[in-house]
Amino acid sequence: MLYWLHDLLNMNLLGYITVRAGVAFFIALILTLFIMPKFIRWAQRTSSVQPINEWAPDRHQEKHSTPTMGGIVFIGATIFASLLTVKLDNAYAQAGLLTLGLFSLIGFYDDFAKIKKSQNLAGFKARTKLVLQILSAAVVACFLCLFADFNTDLYVPFLKNPVLDMGNFSIAFWILVIVATSNAVNLTDGLDGLATVPSIAALTSFSIIIYITGNVKISSYLLMPHFQVSEVAIISSALIGALTGFLWYNSHPAEVFMGDSGSLTIGAFLGFLAIISKSEILLLLIGSIFVIETLSVILQVGSFKLRKKRVFLMAPIHHHFEMKNWAENKIIVRFWIIAVLSNVLALITLKIR
């Protein structure tokens, strides 16, 4: 809408990506701050609260009355702010909104089933959820190929030229990136605000990278690939604003949890951002906390199956530190610090090519 006003009223200011990104940030922030307390009161009245897994550390049992499914609020605010500010005929922006919509529906149903049955494991069966994630990611990947005319080159950090053309394999690779990141963020969302700040940090890094990628002069100066993806930085900025508003209520002690409707969607969108910015490999550093959490689960399961021994007291790794009697807030803040530092490192690598 703002871009059309730019054309209609000849207001050059509204044509700038940075201006519309800032507007989207504040629209999403204000909407989330306004709607979330109303949502929390509604959730408390209707007992839409978080069922706690019986295997979780004992201290988690006191959180059983905390409302969940807050993701529908900040994802909804993100989509609304984006529709007001993004140039909607941009295929990459359309793909970004499609990603948010598809994965939020999967997460919403999973959250709703858990709430309805008051059981943490009552949502989709693991296999069903994975199939739905793969199908949704496939839709997004095919959309990029068919409508965005996106190339299939693979780039790695420190090199200015692509290392190979993935060809038809690119769709399978993109599906893997989206689904893996979606589940990685979902695994991380286990403590108050633990997934929120690393997500904001990662979104900020990708917003910068995508803005650079979409700017022909800056991308040429930094020897980075160039695509017309800058509009997606506006959606990313809107999600940062919405998550900032959510953090106001999600910080320890949390008044609301994001649920799968939030974590699955954030992860999928981060994977999408990595793909369109040709930063799939750099995603490992940008999303370091999500990678660490996922690896801890893989190591725990693998070790127990092969050696009948556990590597950690409990996985994901944030539960390991809980079992070692670390204060919850200390675990959260230390993980935040790691996330911010890894994103600073990731941005530094952009100049080293």
The total number of structural domains that make up the chain: 1
Say whether pLDDT at 7 is over 60: no
Q: Report the pLDDT value the prediction gives residue 159, as an integer from 0 to 100.
A: 87
Say whether pLDDT at 275 is over 90: yes
Question: Residue 242: pLDDT band by 50, 70, 90 thresholds?
Answer: very high
Q: Report the pLDDT value the prediction gives residue 318, as an integer from 0 to 100.
A: 92
Q: Report the pLDDT value the prediction gives residue 59, as an integer from 0 to 100.
A: 57
In a domain, 302, yes or no: no
Q: Report the pLDDT value the prediction gives residue 141, as an integer from 0 to 100.
A: 96
**Residue predicted with more confidence, 220 or 57:** 220
193 phi/psi in degrees, rounded to 5: 80, 0
In a domain, 57, yes or no: yes
Please give the average per-residue pLDDT across 93-118, as a whole number: 89
Please give the average per-residue pLDDT across 210-233, as a whole number: 93
Say whether pLDDT at 266 is over 60: yes
Please give the average per-residue pLDDT across 9-28, as a whole number: 83
Please enumerate in sequence order all residues whose Cβ is within 8 A of that of 30, keeping only pairs 6 or more positions apart, or say none: 245
In a domain, 25, yes or no: yes
Question: Residue 68: pLDDT band by 50, 70, 90 thresholds?
Answer: confident
In a domain, 189, yes or no: yes
In a domain, 294, yes or no: no
Please give the average per-residue pLDDT across 89-97, as a whole number: 96
pLDDT digits (tens, 9 = 90+) for 279-323: 999 999 999 999 999 999 999 999 988 888 899 999 899 999 998
- The distance of Cα 239 from the centroid of its chain, to the nearest Å, equals 9
Please enumerate in sequence order all residues whose Cβ is within 8 A of that of 313, keeping only pairs 6 or more positions apart, or say none: 319, 320, 323, 324
Contact predicate 52/191, CB 8 Å: no
3 phi/psi in degrees, rounded to 5: -70, -35
Q: Report the pLDDT value the prediction gives residue 161, as an integer from 0 to 100.
A: 87
Domain housing 137:
2-284
In a domain, 184, yes or no: yes
pLDDT digits (tens, 9 = 90+) for 317-333: 999 999 898 999 999 99
Contact predicate 224/213, CB 8 Å: yes
pLDDT digits (tens, 9 = 90+) for 130-176: 999 999 999 999 999 998 878 899 999 988 889 999 988 999 999 99
Please give the helix or strand (H or E) that residue 164 lies within, else none.
strand 164-165
Q: Report the pLDDT value the prediction gives residue 190, as an integer from 0 to 100.
A: 85
Q: Report the pLDDT value the prediction gives residue 174, as an integer from 0 to 100.
A: 97
In a domain, 153, yes or no: yes
Q: Report the pLDDT value the prediction gives residue 116, as an integer from 0 to 100.
A: 73
Question: Residue 16: pLDDT band by 50, 70, 90 thresholds?
Answer: confident
Q: Report the pLDDT value the prediction gives residue 100, as an integer from 0 to 100.
A: 98
**Buried b / exposed e along 328-351 (16+ C-beta atoms within 10 A):** beebbeebbeebbebbeebbeebe
In a domain, 172, yes or no: yes
Q: Report the pLDDT value the prediction gives residue 23, as an integer from 0 to 100.
A: 95
